[in-house]
Structure 1
Amino acid sequence: MTYATVPDTHPPKPRGWYKRNEIALTPLLFLAPAILFFAVYVIIPIGQSFWISLHEWDGLGEAEWVGTANYERLLGIGEQPMDRKFETSFWNNIKWLILYLLAIPAGLFIALFLNQTVRGIRIYKSLFFFPFVISQVVVGLVFSWFYLPREGLLNAVIGLFGFGPVNILGDPSLATYGIIAAGLWPQTAYCMILYLTGLNAVDPEQVEAARLDGAKGWRMLWYVILPQLRPATFIAFVVTIIGALRSFDLISVMTNGGPFGSTRVLSFYMFEESLSEFGFRMGYGAAIAVVLFFLMLGFILYFLWSMYRDEKGAH
């Protein structure tokens, strides 16, 4: 006995707008909180800094519109000379930037050493990891004691070789380099951690194939290992550049911008002009912050473009 099937004459219910776009909208919904926080705490403050830089303002009273006058005074546009403090701060930032990049190859070679199977390797990893977990303020205090002219360990060591005491932080020609050396200690540890993570993702089959082809030592490192460490290298470059350009805490702890203002950098000069007892020129400090932001942005965009070009060439 057979039964005839009755066709469904009801039309299908129309799908809602969200159902039709669910695949495209779901990722955006997950990203929305992060985008909101990024806009509130990054994008909007950047716009506010640029707006404040166009005013003369002490942070409390009425802001007076001055246009680009702060930038003209800062960069020496027109008849007035360039701000000497800004010039010193700018060139000190360039020194920080160049020498801070030494942390990247140093971190790489320490990571290569720690990636080996060596007896007691956990102790070595702990020793090299230690600078990364301590505060920059503590690093500044440790190196301030290390550089003491009479009681410091540095002068005790060079005294063994017959050299006289050196006042690193009291000499305007040496103080900046002494602070950079202190900053390189934790920054190298950070780059080491990035490269250790990258080395764990290196394809062992490529390494084995390269060994069969006779590659070893520097050739293995240059042609096999480093190409696979490009993401870690990119992150190391970006983080190191940002760290070099926003250096503030070590300078504040170790020299407070001295001696004679020789260790100022842009971030510290911005603080002096905006918030110190001798400043409260919020507009001028914001102009310094905008210059620092574009300097930092230029380097980051260059590395992003370089990485994009390499990825495009690989495909």
Structure 2
Amino acid sequence: MTNATAVPTTHASQPRRGWYKRNEIALTPWLFLLPGVLFFAAYVILPIFQSFQVSFYRWDGLGDLTEQGKFIGLENYRELASDRNFSISFWNNIRWLLLYLLAIPLGLAIALFLNQTVTGIRLYKSLFFFPFVISQVVVGLVFSWFYLPNVGMLAIVLEWFGITGVNILGSPDTATYGIIAAGIWPQTAYCMILYLTGLNAVDPEQIEAARLDGAKRWKMLWYIIIPQLKPATFIAFVVTIIGALRSFDLISIMTNGGPFGSTRVLSFYMFEKALSEYGFRMGYGAAIAVVLFLLMLIFIGYFLWSMWRDERAAR
């Protein structure tokens, strides 16, 4: 009786796996991301390119662009260069961008205060969080009443110091800054939330080691805590810039672009040109939108480059 010898299983005898099975680990994350990528491409990327295309036409928004519109090349951009209202709107946007960034250090300062264990901290957190949950329209109405001459709270407080006749929203010199102050209020609350989340992820071992080395207060904050808050700072920076550039709602509620058009920004002027009393100039409005997009891209691109440079230097 002969013993049966086992035939070794060779690689060729194993069932061959399909292409997807061989790449399943690499492909699965992309399949989860695919719906979001498609929606982002359809509702963000594609409209950006369409705005560039529309900006080269004279078009009222009715009918097909290529049939009803007239291709005029860079004529809309040449008109922007000599448009005084566009110049006012552009520089107002620069003011918004620069002053709105104050919300980031203010949010950090409040987050550092609220991160401590003190009596009534939950009440303080609720009070500071409150501006974030109310709409921009409500914020605009509240500050409009706050700035009312003679009867507004600001006027009443200034009267205690002998200052009268202050009309924040009625003066071209102060109206823009009054609206920016109204916008910083809820934006600071948003930055505070981001930093509170970031502070929860700060490594306590690094803090303890820094204390043993003698680091206190400002040195601890600058060299230990802030570097660990870079992800929160990046999100706060991007969201704050976007918030400064989409300041349409506050301006519409508080001044409607006045007095004498002094508080217009690019988003509001784009609305006026494309969809308001100026005759539906969609091409001109698209040209303003392109300038607004490039302005945002410059600021965010610079910050991304700075973060990439710092991370590369740290390797």
> TM-score, structure 1 length as denominator?
0.95
Runs of 5+ consecutive residues of structure 2 not aligned to the other structure? none
State, as a whole percentage, how many aligned pairs show the same letter: 76
Aligned to 2:28: 26
Name the SS for the 1:313 alignment partner. Answer: helix
Shift of 1:165: 2.6
Aligned to 1:156: 156
Q: How does 1:207-226 map to 2 (within 5 A)?
A: 207-226=207-226
Shift of 1:291: 0.6
Aligned letter for 2:79?
R
Aligned to 2:62: 60
Name the SS for the 1:198 alignment partner. Answer: helix
Q: How far, CA to CA, are the matches of 1:138 and 1:5 in structure 2? A: 85
1:69 partnered with 2:70:
no
Identify which range, 169-178 or 60-69, moves more after superposition.
60-69
Q: Alpha-carbon deviations, 1:34-89, whole Å to 9, x = none?
A: 110000000111111111111101111411111111011112xxxxxx10000000
Shift of 1:22: 1.7
Aligned to 1:105: 105
Q: How far, CA to CA, are the matches of 1:279 and 1:220 in structure 2? A: 58
Name the SS for the 1:291 alignment partner. Answer: helix
Shift of 1:3: 4.9
Aligned to 2:126: 126
Q: How far, CA to CA, are the matches of 1:209 and 1:171 in structure 2? A: 54
Aligned letter for 1:160?
W
Q: Alpha-carbon deviations, 1:2-38, whole Å to 9, x = none?
A: 9524425882222212122222221211111011000
Name the SS for the 1:91 alignment partner. Answer: helix
Contact 1:159 1:165 (C-alpha < 8 Å) held by counterparts: no
Runs of 5+ consecutive residues of structure 1 not aligned to the other structure? 76-81
Q: How far, CA to CA, are the matches of 2:258 and 2:28 in structure 1? A: 54
Identify which range, 249-258 or 210-219, moves more after superposition.
210-219
Name the SS for the 1:47 alignment partner. Answer: helix
Aligned to 2:15: 13
Structure 1 outlier segments of 4+, above 6 Å: none
Aligned letter for 1:180?
I
Shift of 1:313: 1.0
Q: Alpha-carbon deviations, 1:230-275, whole Å to 9, x = none?
A: 1111111111111112211000000000000000000000000001
1:48 partnered with 2:44:
no
Q: How far, CA to CA, are the matches of 1:273 and 1:127 in structure 2? A: 40
Q: How far, CA to CA, are the matches of 1:106 and 1:27 in structure 2? A: 38
Q: Alpha-carbon deviations, 1:215-239, whole Å to 9, x = none?
A: 1111111111111111111111111
Q: How far, CA to CA, are the matches of 2:21 and 2:3 in structure 1? A: 36
Aligned to 2:202: 202
Aligned to 1:36: 38
Name the SS for the 2:60 alignment partner. Answer: coil
Name the SS for the 2:13 alignment partner. Answer: coil
C-alpha RMSD over aligned residues: 1.4
Aligned letter for 2:72?
V
Aligned letter for 1:311?
E
Contact 1:171 1:259 (C-alpha < 8 Å) held by counterparts: yes
Aligned to 2:280: 280
Name the SS for the 1:109 alignment partner. Answer: helix
Aligned to 2:179: 179
Name the SS for the 1:236 alignment partner. Answer: helix
Q: How far, CA to CA, are the matches of 2:265 and 2:18 in structure 1? A: 57
1:140 partnered with 2:146:
no
Structure 1 residues 199 and 2: alpha-carbon distance in aligned structure 2, compared to 1, 3 A threshold: farther
Q: How far, CA to CA, are the matches of 1:279 and 1:196 in structure 2? A: 47
Task: Report the number of matched residues.
Answer: 309
Contact 1:57 1:282 (C-alpha < 8 Å) held by counterparts: yes
Identify which range, 212-221 or 122-131, moves more after superposition.
212-221
Q: Alpha-carbon deviations, 1:159-184, whole Å to 9, x = none?
A: 01111131100000000000000000
Q: How far, CA to CA, are the matches of 1:46 and 1:220 in structure 2? A: 43
Aligned letter for 1:292?
L
Q: How far, CA to CA, are the matches of 1:204 and 1:120 in structure 2? A: 24
Aligned letter for 1:281?
R
Aligned to 2:293: 293
